[in-house]
Amino acid sequence: MIGYLEGTVQARLADGVVVLTPGGVGYQVRLPAPVLARVAQDAGASVKLFISTVVRADDISLFGFDGPDGKALFELLNTVSGIGPKLALALLSSMSPGDAVGAIVAQDVALLASVPGIGKKTAARVCLELAEKLKQRPLGASGSAAGISVLGAIGGIQAELLSALTNLGFPEKDVLVVLRRLPPGQAPFADQLKQALAWLGRS
């Protein structure tokens, strides 16, 4: 199985790239849209990708990610009935691995169902099968310490907010929904806590 590739972008495809390795072998790799936008700007650009190899009776496909978290979440999504590589890739094209983990743990079916191809029933199944797994253990390629957990997925001040708000008695799933609504930036902890409390008080 191919798990990692380094090389240069030999060609850009509609849904991926051809990676030319130093040994002269070109591998066709499908990528989530954000990764494709980052790595396929120029032919000849250096690229490093974590690879998930999907083997079927009539096909072997490579799916590439720019970190171990994307690869690990892609592979975990593929364990869910009704989610194959195509839908897993669509999900990771619509949101980052951290945002996807947050949505699954918060059981935000509506957000997941907004991804093209994923209906409400499939989104609910993803939450049902993966929410507890993502709470209990980090993601990462082959046990890599670079995995993501619920806290790691949001990180920084938001991890502190999650801890503070759950200690105040608010359900974790409600807190995660609110944290995703906070605007990005470096607002002080106290200001973000005040805003989160206001939203939680209305929920």
Domain ranges of the chain: 4-66, 68-150, 155-203
Q: Tell me: domain 4-66, CATH 3.40.50.970, correct?
A: no
Element (H, E) at 19: strand 16-20
Residue 147 is predicted with a pLDDT of 42
Fold of 68-150: DNA polymerase; domain 1 (1.10.150)
Backbone angles phi, psi at 68, to 5 degrees: -70, -25
For the chain, list residues with pLDDT below 50.
140-153
Sign of the four-CA dihedral 123, 125, 131, 136:
negative
pLDDT for 159 equals 66
Model-wide pTM > 0.75: no
Distance separating alpha carbons of residues 126 and 140, to the nearest angstrom: 19
The predicted structure's pLDDT at residue 141: 39
Class of the CATH domain delimited by 155-203: mainly alpha
